[in-house]
Amino acid sequence: MMKTALELSDAIKSKDMSCVELMQKTLSQIDQVNPRINAIVNRVDPERALQQAKQADTDLASGNYRGWMHGFPHAVKDVANLAGFLTTLGSPLSQNWGVSQSDDIAIARIRKQGAIFIGKTNVPEFGLGSHTYNTVYGTTANAFDETLTAGGSSGGAAAALATGLLPVADGSDMMGSLRNPAGFNNVVGFRPSLGRIPVDNGSNDLFFGQLSSLGPMARTVADTAMLYRTMAGADRRAPLSMQPTPQHPLCHKPASADKLRIGWLSDYDGYLATEPGVISLCEIALKGLNDAGCTVSPAQITFSMEELWQSWLVSRQWVLGNGYRGLFQNTDNHEYIKPEALWEMSRGQNLSGQALYAASSSRSNWFRAVNRCFEQFDILALPAAQVFPFPKAQHWPEEINGTVMDTYHRWMEVVIGPSLCGCPVISLPAGFDCHGRAMGIQFMAPIGEDDKLLQFAMTYEAINPWAQHYAGM
């Protein structure tokens, strides 16, 4: 069974394992597995990685302990800037962009804790769509079935974790990009409260970009909490970042299940089309919570879900249409951009201020409706996806259980609620269906209650353990 990140950290700090030994094992695992799943891309030369590991051992011997990730091999999601590496966003246009000259804020914090960067993790083109494929590096396969998708956009990160290529991974999430691939690969993906992790990746806008969040991924909740602690905290370069520092992860302990009120939103009372087996698998996991003392009962949020979807479309397309306006307006670029991305960029070009204000008003009313629901429940639960992992040759599910999907991302509508309200939400493994396909379940807490959600997640992990599924991989 694979060691947890915290176990590896302790082993290195106590010198029971050298950084070189960990690097050698990691590189060997990557050589064996990565050609099949294509999770880690833009790899550094192995000799360079080993030299850095040797230096990390030398530093440790001389008393220069860098932090809990001292000597950890780490690959950064290929939408984030990492000094000395090309950030491709999975786009063939990246050949014109040049190598990043500095780290993004969260990546610099990971570096400061002692990580050794060995490459990037694969993403969909521009990080759009919950299926990791692009014409630069190809397709990332599911950790448990190489014919299926790993999800996205943090698909490379999730598959790398599940196959032991990385101890922990960074990711980001606009439309379930931490949660969907976590569910599809039986790992943990945590999207924190709005502003918990500072964002400044060099884009022009620092104030309107509130749909996306950075976050950690790992095989265990404790490892996830530790990376969250590394990435989180205010920074004066990010005006929307939160000033309060999160609780130290070593203080995180499982919450008492007794009297915890869990509201099961399911498919929003039949509104969401879901593949058969998704709901029932999640409900089996919820039964474990109920048996342990939680009160699990159906929940409803009084709100028009179609209005929420339209608010989402306008908000997202405004961000994409304006964020990529220069790229889109050069029509020579169009042949190098996938049709789904072109469609969203084009829709965002001419949105009116009135439309944007109406979408923001709907989002505000949704937030208020979610808060009212939290008056009855401590935690709200949803499936992490509406379908199980699908064939990786398929770009996206065009229908679910007889319902036609009218956009390339409608099949992921289940994730937009937490994204729009800015609440902390974590995707935890729910189990596998009879075909061996993994599914996750989302748990959401009131905004700002990130630590309480992580403590609850530890309780869930103790009741519904999943680590045994990595053994022998």
Give me the active site residues, please: 77, 153, 177
From CA 3, how far away is CA 11, in angstroms rounded? 10
**In this structure, what token pair is assigned to residue 372?**
């009212």
**What is the DSSP annotation of 322-348?**
HHTHHHHHSGGGGGGS-HHHHHHHHHT
- Is residue 47 within 8 A of residue 53, CB to CB? The reply is no
**In this structure, what token pair is assigned to residue 406?**
């009218």
- Is residue 73 within 8 A of residue 49, CB to CB? The reply is yes
From CA 304, how far away is CA 272, in angstroms rounded? 12
Packed helices 450-463 and 221-231: angle between N→C axes, nearest 10 degrees: 160
- Is residue 374 within 8 A of residue 424, CB to CB? The reply is no
Residue 116, CA distances (Å) to 55, 72, 186, 351 in order = 10, 6, 25, 43
**In this structure, what token pair is assigned to residue 126?**
């521009």
Mark out the alpha helices in 125-266 (DSSP H runs). 155-162, 179-184, 221-231
**What is the DSSP annotation of 167-186?**
SEEEEEESSSTTHHHHHHTT
Structural element, H or E, at residue 71: none
